[in-house]
Amino acid sequence: MGTHAAAGEPAGGSADEWRRDYELPSERGSSRLVMDELLEQLGVHGWPPSDIFGIHLATEEAIVNAIVHGNKFDPAKTVRVACAVSQDRARIEVTDDGAGFDPASVPDCTLEERLEVPSGRGVMLMRSFMAIAYNARGNGVVLEKRRGPLPG
């Protein structure tokens, strides 16, 4: 774990990008180790509350999926989370030690017959609030959100 200063970038724009990598235990609630600082940094970088809500939700769902479905709570496995936040971009990469999965195999939770199934909404929420891309193995996902031109 460590904070990597974005050295050598020009002043202004994304020069003030905040980056931090985390390694989380495969336990319930360990997303908190990331979230407090991530939310604070989104605020520091001027992201509006509605965007922060969406990034929070998408990141939470990705980390919970990694712990529960990826690592299946195996204490020998960890979840890596790499965060990068600037004024115009938030990027969060979540990788687990699991076998991976095919995101296309997740049934559509909004189908009439699945509306009342109490699980299976995480990936849809991630996709609704951020752009997401899984790696080939399906054990890692990149979540990204870009902000439109700033006023003024």
Partner 1 sequence: MTAHRRIDASKIGDVTVVRFVDKKILDEASIQELGVELFGLVEQLNRRSILLNFANVEFLSSAALGKLITLDRKVKAAKGRLKMSNIRPEILEVFQITKLNKVFDIRKDEAEAIAAFQ
Helices and strands: H and E segment counts in the chain? 3, 6
Please report which residue ranges of the chain form alpha helices under DSSP H. 32-44, 49-65, 122-129
How far apart are alpha carbons 43 and 18 in whole angstroms?
12
User: Of all helices (H) and strands (E), which one includes residue 132?
Assistant: strand 131-134
Output the smallest distance, CB 47 to partner 1, in A: 13
Residues 25-64, one symbol each (x = binds partner 1 by CB under 8 A, - = not), give ---xx-xx----------------xx--xx-xx--xx--x
> Please, what is the minimum distance in Å from the beta carbon of residue 56 to partner 1?
7
Whose structure tokens read 């899984």? 134
121 binds partner 1 (CB under 8 A): yes
- Report CA Rg, the chain: 16
117 binds partner 1 (CB under 8 A): yes
Q: Quick one: which segment of 9-17, 40-48, 80-88, 121-129 binds partner 1 (CB under 8 A)?
A: 121-129
Q: 8 or 118, CB closer to partner 1?
A: 118
Q: Is 87:6 a contact under the CB 8 Å cutoff?
A: no
If binding is defined by CB under 8 A, does position 147 make contact with partner 1? no
Residue 39 makes CB contacts below 8 A (sequence gap 6+) with 52, 56
- Closer residue to partner 1, CB minimum distance, 17 or 26: 26
Binding-site ranges for partner 1 (CB under 8 A): 28-29, 31-32, 49-50, 53-54, 56-57, 60-61, 64, 109-110, 115-119, 121-122, 124-125, 128
